[in-house]
Structures are given as structure tokens and as C-alpha cells.
Amino acid sequence: MLEGRNLAVWRGERVVFSGLDFRLEDGGALLLTGANGAGKSTLLRLVAGLVPPIEGQLLWAGVDALADRVSHARRLRYLSHADALKPSLTARENLAFYARLWGGDVEAALEQVGLLDLADLPVRVFSSGQKRRLALARLALSPAALWLLDEPTVGLDANSVARLGALLATHRAAGGAVMAATHLPLPLPDARELCL
Amino acid sequence: MSAFWAVLTRELQLAIRHPADTLAAVMFFVLVCALFPFGIGPAPETLARIAPGALLASALLAALLPLDRLFGAEAEDGSLEQLLLSGLPPAALAAAKALGHWLTTGLPLLLATPMAAAMLNLPVEAWGVAMIALGLATAVLSLFGTAGAALTLGARRGGVLLPLLVLPLSIPAVIFGAAAIEAAAAGLVARPYLLLLGALLAIAAPMAPLAAGAALRAE
């Protein structure tokens, strides 16, 4: 279970948010909403351990999560705005790297996002929606306790959003938690909303 | 450990897909060495006299070329965040990056050393020592350079800042490397200088990745 207490983040020369409290149970989902620049992405980066809070605590199962950021990183998957793909490598090679880090079956993950037919093409020729789907395939590789998703459905067609819905449902049924920042409707039934 | 090898093999895989980066460094090295005879004149003794220093300086400058993209490219496409969350400690990530840089830049420079040495009229007896000295010196530069690249990541004009940060640190490598080649060319023992270069590498090998890791974490 993830818990944020009185969190505040400093970015550039201003406080992005302060006094932020939230709770996220196992199997739960938290939807981050708010205007552009409200700090949705920053909160996701904070929870990932990429940005330190200037105040407050982030607790995982009651223990300070940021004290050991390397083991905290191992229990989460972070999907940022950027797809983190290398254009010169094929879809399979891009995913195989992450499979070596985290374990998991590359073919099955590609199948789940519907990219098996394009697996041997360099990512350079992919459309932006296809790149997004390949980034989402990282989530399907191997189980992790916490998914942090930043605008996961940008550029996706209806079919792919449904596929993401299936991925999210499997993840939550296995007790995984989801934290997602979005402006678009997400396939996350009974998610709680946190407006920044 | 497997994550370390995963990052390293990915570096090599990307270098094979973009051979232009490696080729550019090697060509730069050979061309700079070729400029010296034009500037100084083709007198064999003069050339042989400056050959050790010229080789070292050219090789280190060439190895510096791809450094500002070492983390820059990863940061731009979002890969750096994924690498930092890969479960690999940042210092190990930096060590993998440094080793990758040496294998894709330092090692190819070694292969081009005989050509550059011939243009500078370095006696053939000294070529072996020249390759060892350049190998050690470029390894030191890869390590300091990785730390420099991590520190200047995100800085405006990072590409200009990086050489200003890294080149002063590589002065000892130039001194001992050139001394080793000079000794070999004069028929003397080069081993003490190579050992000093090795000692420099032994200091840089743990310290530079730790510094780079700390810089990446603060990014």
C-alpha cells in the first residue's frame, strides 16, 4: 500500500504543490487530474523516486519508500510522456532490453499490445500510436506492484485503449496498484480521483 | 549484474547500428595526427620528437567527441528515467556507460594508432607501447568523461562545458602516456610510466562512476 503524507515539491523557482495527502491500496487506482502544470507528472516522478520531495513522506507498506530508491524502483513501472524507445532498434530488440532487466516474455507482451506483426521493424518507422503501444508493452512484460502512468492513452486508437483496459484489469486483479495522470477517460473502473 | 551486462550490450548494439559515431572519432584522430606534419614540416626527427604528445592529445580529443551524447540522447527520449528505475544502482549504470564508451570509442582508436603513429614518424619499436598507453589513457578519459557528461547533463551549453571539465583531469594521463611512448622510442623501459597510468585508471575506475551516479540521481 502506498501512502503520501503532506508532500511538497519544489521545481525551478516555485512550489508545484504542497500539503498533499493520498492513499493507494493494493489493487486500487488513483486518477490524477488537474490543469496543465498542476503537478500531475511531477507527482508521478516523485512517487517513482526521480524527484525528491522537499517536505513530507512517501510510505510503502508503512516504510519510507525513498530511503532505498533502488529497491523502490524494482517494484514499480513508470510510463512517462516520452516512450523511451531507440529508433534504430526493432520493436523486439527494444523490448528485449527491458525483458533482460525485469524478466518476462517479449513475444507475449508484444501480442498483448497487438504489435507481434511489426516486431522486426525498426521503431523509426512506427507511428506515434504504435510507439505508445510498444511503450505500454513494457508493463505487460512482468508483474510489478505499482504502475505509474503519465497520459497512457495519448495517440491510442479505441482498440488499443481497450487492450490497455485489459492489461490494467489483470494488473489490478493480481493486487497491483495504478496511479495515472490523464486528461482523457481511462479504462479504470472505480478509480478514486485526486485533483491537484 | 545481469542488468549491468544488459545496459552494456545495448550500448554495443546501438553503436553497431550507428557506426558513424565511432567512425567519426577514428577519422578525427587520424586527421588531427595528419595535420601535424603539415604544420611542423616533414623533418623526421622533429616529427618523432612531438609524436608521443601529439598522439595522446589527438586521441583524447577524439574520444571526447561522442561524450556529450552519452547521457544526452538517453535523457531526450526518456530512456534515462527508465535506466535509473531499472533497479541498477546509478553508479553501476554509469560504469556500464563508461565501459561502453571505451569499447565503442577508445578501442577503435587503438586500432587506428599504427596509422597515426606512422604519419608522425614514431619508431616502429614504440608502436606497441603507444597502443598500451593510448588504451589506458582513453580508459581514464572514458571514466572522467562519463562523470563530466553526467554533471553537465541538462546544463545549457553542456557540450562546451564538458571538455573544460574533463580535459584538465586528463593532464596526468597525457604526461605519463607521452612519457611511456617517449621512453619506448628512445629504447628505454616504459613500464614505470605504464604502471603509473594503470594506477591512475585504478583510482578513476571506482571514483568516476560514483561521482557520475550521484550526479545522475540529482538530475
CB contact under 8 A, B78 and A49: no
Q: How many angstroms separate the CA of residue B83 from the nearest CA in chain A? A: 9
Chain A positions touching B96 (Cβ under 8 A) are none
The predicted pLDDT at position A14 comes to 86
Instruction: Single out the residue of B135, B59, B71, B61 nearest to residue B98, CA to CA.
Output: B71
pLDDT tens, position by position, for chain A (196 residues)? 899 999 999 887 888 889 999 999 999 999 999 888 888 999 999 999 999 899 999 999 999 999 988 899 999 999 999 999 999 999 999 999 999 999 899 999 999 999 999 999 999 999 999 999 999 999 999 999 999 999 999 989 999 999 999 999 999 999 999 999 988 888 888 888 898 8
Whose cell is 478514486? That residue is A192
ipTM: 0.92
Residues of B in contact with A100 (CB under 8 A): 2-3, 5-6
pLDDT of res. B105: 96
User: Which residue stretches of chain B have pLDDT < 50?
Assistant: none
- Separation between Cα atoms, residue B185 and residue B52, nearest integer Å: 9
Cβ–Cβ under 8 Å, residues A84 and A27: no
Domain residue spans of chain B: 2-218
- B82/A78 Cβ within 8 A: yes
| B13 contacts on A by Cβ (under 8 Å) | 89, 93
Q: What is the pLDDT of residue A183?
A: 87
> CA of A82 to nearest chain B CA: how many angstroms apart?
5
DSSP A180-193: EE-SS--S-TT-EE
Who among B18, B78, B217 is closest to A88 (CB)?
A: B18
Mutant choice from A70, A79, A92, A138 vs B, greatest count of B C-beta within 10 A = A70
Give yes or no for B16 touching A (CB within 8 A).
no
Looking at the complex, does the CB of residue B1 fall below 8 Å from at least one CB of chain A?
Answer: no
Contact B109, B62 (CB under 8 A): yes
Percent of chain B at pLDDT exceeding 90: 87
